[in-house]
Amino acid sequence: MSTTDKQLRVGMVGYAFMGAAHSQAWRTVNRVYDLPARARMALICGRDAGKVADAADRLGWETYTTDWRDLVSRDDIDVVDVCTPGDSHAEIALAALAAGKHVLCEKPLANTVSEARAMAAAAATAQAAGVRSMCGFNYRRVPAVTMMRQLVADGRLGVIRHVRATYLQDWIVDPQFPLVWRLQKDRAGSGALGDIGAHIIDLTQFVTGQRITGVSAVTETFVKERPLPAESSGLAATVDGAGPVDGHGSVDGHAPATGPVTVDDAAVFVARLDGGALATYEASRFATGRKNALRVEINGSLGTVVFDLERLNELEFYDATRPTAEQGFSRILVTEGEHPYMSAWWPPGHIIGYEHSFTHQMRDFIEAIATGVDPAPSFADALQVQLVLDAVTRSAELGSSWTEVEPALAPVAA
């Protein structure tokens, strides 16, 4: 088989929000980029036969199964894409790596440090046999974020002094929003911290090239009891099987049963990075009016760069090396063909969106597998993020005491 004829037969576990985003990317990537292998959407897995059959048809998969073990063991699957809640990441990914499958796993890598360590160790073993693995921090693949990293790496900001990162949502502000799996520690591992805080931890370390070494943190759960859901897709749910919650906390006039929220609603922490920078992080799902507001600002001795996800085709850049009379924040529209990833898309000025970051992610993963290169972020990189999450949790439990980030078992890729 020639390189251009090579296929990577993909099996994906999960079909809700992330499953849909990943499916769109698998459908699109070979139609946009000329790659050394083609992704074939061979098999999708979900527990409910009716729902996964519908998802296979709607999202473009050839067939489906209700048993992820069947998916992992099949000889006609080359890549396993894990888009499930965090409590099953480790079991599925470890089985897939042991079966010789390449693995793409959504973030955060696992629910616990011990799981993440086991996954990173298994990935290192599999790597020696040519089996590749990657964690799905898709915001690295936003062209403006990749360019932000280039500006820092090229020394345009000088010595990095401050990192300021926030990720704000409001989808659980209503206390009558149901107790979906993302609000349960045994399923999700943590709340806003792991769900969205993990993104800004990875993004800022990726952009600056510096690692978080210690933190002082506070977390809060504002609503400690919520109605029990009948069914849920993670960001939307019904209560007690009777339909959506009304504006008064009841369903069909009956008060719903409730259960405890066992994760954080918000996490705030300060941090030190190993290059000397001071950093602040805020992750909240209670920021009323903020739907998906991720913002990162990097201040250096020679300039500042700012990224705002709600304006994801742009960067703000302040160049302090220019004459004083010419200084000021400039807007860089990241849509030129020479900008990262943009050569395959539209003419300059024609913007792209959220879903494109997943297409870029699949492009990089396919290219790495086909050319025998280790993709990033690796499971070792994702383990390091997990160690930061753990340090934040421990600091908050100890009254915000300064807490060092534990070292990874093996050297972490830059």
Partners of residue 7 on adjacent β-strands: 38
pLDDT digits (tens, 9 = 90+) for 257-300: 999 999 999 999 999 999 999 999 999 999 999 999 999 999 99
Quickly list DSSP for 241-301.
TTBS--TTS-BTTBPPPEEE--S-SEEEEEEEETTS-EEEEEEES--TT-SSEEEEEEEES
Written as one letter, the residue type at 179 is L
The verdict on 129 and 173 lying in the same domain is no
Q: Of 327, 307, 311, whose CA–CA distance to 319 is shortest?
A: 327
Which residues fall within 8 angstroms of residue 196, CB to CB, at 6 or more apart?
Answer: 167, 169, 283, 285, 294
Range of the domain at 365: 141-228+257-376+388-394
Encode 214-241 in three state secondary structure: EEEEEEECCCCEEECEEEECCCCEEECC
The phi-psi region of residue 241 (left if phi > 0; otherwise alpha if psi is between -120 and 50; otherwise beta) is left
The last residue of one of the domains, among 138, 158, 173, is: 138
The verdict on 179 and 115 lying in the same domain is no
**Per-residue pLDDT, 240:** 37
**Per-residue pLDDT, 412:** 43
Map tokens 């050569």 to a residue.
Answer: 343
The verdict on 174 and 271 lying in the same domain is yes
The verdict on 325 and 351 lying in the same domain is yes
Which residues fall within 8 angstroms of residue 186, CB to CB, at 6 or more apart?
Answer: 87, 262
Triad 131, 135, 138: Cα angle to 5°: 130
The verdict on 46 and 127 lying in the same domain is yes
Q: Using CB atoms within 10 Å of the CB of residue 333, give its burial: 0 to 12 exposed, 13 to 18 middle, 19+ buried.
A: middle
Per the domain annotation, does 246 fall within a domain? no
The verdict on 99 and 213 lying in the same domain is no
The verdict on 159 and 133 lying in the same domain is no
Secondary structure letter of residue 340 according to DSSP: T
Tokens of 276: 């000397």
Per the domain annotation, does 250 fall within a domain? no
The last residue of one of the domains, among 107, 123, 138, is: 138
The verdict on 133 and 148 lying in the same domain is no
Q: Which CATH number characterizes residue 50's domain?
A: 3.40.50.720
Which residues fall within 8 angstroms of residue 235, CB to CB, at 6 or more apart?
Answer: 17, 171, 180, 182
Strands of 48-144 (E only): list them. 63-65, 79-82, 102-106, 133-136
Per the domain annotation, does 28 fall within a domain? yes
The verdict on 51 and 163 lying in the same domain is no
The verdict on 125 and 147 lying in the same domain is no
Q: Please state the pTM of the whole predicted model.
A: 0.93
Per the domain annotation, does 240 fall within a domain? no
**Per-residue pLDDT, 242:** 30
**Per-residue pLDDT, 5:** 66
**Per-residue pLDDT, 230:** 82
Burial string for 227-250 (b: 16+ CB within 10 Å, else e) reads bbbeebebeebbbbeeeebeeeeb
Per the domain annotation, does 71 fall within a domain? yes
Per the domain annotation, does 363 fall within a domain? yes
Consecutive sets of 10 residues in the chain, 414 residues long: mean pLDDT of each? Answer: 70 97 98 97 98 98 98 98 98 98 98 98 97 98 98 98 98 97 96 98 98 98 95 50 38 75 98 98 98 98 98 98 97 98 97 98 98 97 98 98 88 43
Per the domain annotation, does 413 fall within a domain? no
pLDDT digits (tens, 9 = 90+) for 65-116: 999 999 999 999 999 999 999 999 999 999 999 999 999 999 999 999 999 9
Q: Does residue 403 contact residue 72 with C-beta atoms inside 8 Å?
A: no
Sheet holding 293-300, edge to edge: 330-333, 314-319, 303-308, 293-300, 160-168, 278-284, 266-273, 212-220, 403-404
Element (H, E) at 380: helix 379-397
* Start-to-end Cα distance in the chain: 34
Q: Does residue 152 contact residue 184 with C-beta atoms inside 8 Å?
A: no
The verdict on 36 and 134 lying in the same domain is yes
Number of domains in the chain: 2
- Number of Cβ within 10 Å of residue 50's Cβ equals 9
Q: Which CATH number characterizes residue 338's domain?
A: 3.30.360.10
Per the domain annotation, does 119 fall within a domain? yes
The last residue of one of the domains, among 86, 115, 138, is: 138
The verdict on 199 and 92 lying in the same domain is no
